[in-house]
Structure 1
Amino acid sequence: MDILEFIAWISLAVGALSSVIILVDIIQHPQMMTIMNIVWPINGWFLGPVALWTYFKWGKLKAKDNQAEDRRGQGAKVFLSTSHCSAGCTLGDAVGVPIVFFLGLTLFNSTLLAHYVVEFTAAYVFGVLFQLFAILPMNRERGWKGALKDSIKADTLSLVAFEVGMFGWMAIVHFILFQNPPMPSEATYWLMMQIAMILGFLTSYPANWWLVQKGIKEAM
């Protein structure tokens, strides 16, 4: 086992442990917004200790049994909105990877392009669904169709911004960092994916700030 693979296993273990800690607490203290019960553990996988810190500092303020006053600033609320978007993207990307890998898909003889198309599509579907399950409970008068339109409007720019960061890193991994890029069957591949998710989060944050500022998306 080389040093990078060792680091990968440590990073994946820390991410998994962070997700489990958050999940155990959420089972005891469910979120007011049901979809956030899924969002927080997913964030734990790639944000690790940062997800733990933000969950216990900001996330628990929105637990059903919490009586404390919500004093979160705009930055924290946009962080949660970005977390919500990123979780949907992450789930879609994680679903897309094995589809491309096990089916041996390529596009124009490129596996990377196949990953881009399949993962973007899956991320978009999950991202819109996550947004839908956030919007619909707050605006039931809009109905499913209206809530779906609002979800597409609120999530599209945010998702594209996320994928810019993620896909950019994937290209660096594929063309610059490795002579033979790691495969999804290797721990190193998933370390690279964790980094891709973090970069996607960072590129998505300004987009979410703008969406919230313009009233296109509600701060969470």
Structure 2
Amino acid sequence: MEILLITWFSLTAASVGYVTYDLVTSTPEMKVMKWGWILVTLYTGIFGLAIYIISCREPAPNTHEKFIAPLWKQAVGSTIHCMAGDATGVIVVAFLTAALGLPMWLDSILEYLAGFVFGLFIFQALFMKDMLGGTYLAAVRKTWYPELMSMNFVMSGMIPVMIILMTNNMENMEISSLRFWGIMSLASLIGGCLAYPVNWWMVKNKLKHGMGTQRVLGKGGAVINKDEPSPAVMPGMNMASGATANVAIKNGHGQMTMPSSENINKKIMVAVLSLLFLVLGGAAAAHWGRYKMQPGHTSQPMKM
């Protein structure tokens, strides 16, 4: 196991190095998405690298807009953005609560809150405010629902992985152990997979942005050359749904817009589904793991 983890983290370091180099020198992604790809690759290793290559890396000069146009790639960008904020908040708190020796039930609550707060107020509202109307409060109002949906699905995968694997072997709960970080990496990967379908749905229905490019949105997400129509695909405006970047540019914003016929009932149903997944994830963690356990305490541990 130790050799496997050392190999995994060595490949992860190489993957992060490649993604960082390519984003700095070649692929014209927005600044926030560059940070998103780097962070997610740090958490998911070679899987993050592979997804980056097939969905985002510009295959040839001046082809990024066309390359990222398919809906599935737009949804990948949306998922990466959500994962960068959510998983970062979760991992930071997991480190702190483990260092403090807090019980896993409290750890899970704090992780959820930290992931949601970091994802909404920093990666969504702060970094994307130029795209979402120019003001921070407007950005918060427009992104709280997409962020909540993403967070629920992310945590429905991360919680059971962390609780079950960590509480069945005390060594896995120690921050000095490679196993702890390996579990965090696996949890991030599972959480991202579960979050992808809802991000696909939200991008398709203009509730969330997708993949972007600096040539249209600039580094911070503000639309450039508004008065000159461009063939570049805007976040949330994908060829599969019949929308074009020109519409968004003429509107003066690269923001997500809900269709006038948006069905509120569908949003409620998706919200209920996200809560159901979250509850099921928590129930699985309670059944196969131990919420009451905490680092440094050896109360009834089970060896894996």
Give the CA deviation at 1:39: 0.7
Answer yes or no: is 1:212 the counterpart of 2:183: no
Please, which of 118, 122, 130 is the counterpart of residue 123 of structure 2?
Answer: 130
Does 196-205 or 16-25 show the bigger shift?
A: 16-25
Partner Cα distance (2:171, 2:10) in 1: 24
Correspondent of 1:115 among 62, 86, 107: 107
C-alpha distance 131-66 of structure 1, shift in aligned 2 (>3 A):
farther
1:33 to 30, 53, 62: 30
CA contact (8 A) 2:146 2:208 kept: yes
Is contact 2:79-2:196 (8 Å) kept?
yes
Unaligned stretches of 5+ in structure 2?
A: 212-304
Per-residue deviation at 1:27? 2.4
Q: Residue 166 of structure 1 corresponds to which residue in structure 2? A: 158
Q: Determine which of 64, 67, 88 is the counterpart of 2:62.
A: 67
In the alignment, the residues of structure 1 paired with residue 210 and residue 21 of structure 2 have an alpha-carbon distance, to the nearest angstrom, of 26
CA contact (8 A) 1:12 1:45 kept: no
Cα drift, residue 80 of structure 1 = 1.5
What TM-score does the superposition give when structure 1 sets the normalisation length?
0.84
Bigger-Rg structure (1/2):
2
2:203 maps to amino acid: V
> In the alignment, which residue of structure 1 is the partner of 2:77?
80
**Higher helix fraction (1 or 2):** 1
Alignment of structure 1 residues 81-100 onto 2, 5 Å? 81-100=78-97
Contact 2:27–2:58, Cα closer than 8 Å, also in 1: no
The answer for the alignment partner of 1:6 in structure 2 is 3
* AA of the residue aligned to 1:126: F
**Residues 33, 134 of structure 1: 8 Å contact kept:** no
Task: State how far apart, in whole Å, the 1-side matches of 2:67 and 2:5 are.
Answer: 37
Q: Secondary structure at the match of 2:146?
A: helix
Q: Residue 70 of structure 1 aligns to which amino acid in structure 2?
A: K
Matched residues in 1 for 2:163 and 2:48: separation?
26
Identity %: 23
Q: For 1:184-195, what aligned pairs fall within 5 Å after superposition?
A: 184-195=175-186
Which 4+ residue blocks in structure 1 deviate beyond 3 angstroms?
29-32, 179-182
CA-based RMSD: 2.3
1:103 to 1:91, Cα distance in 2 relative to 1, 3 A: same
1:66 Cα offset (Å): 4.6
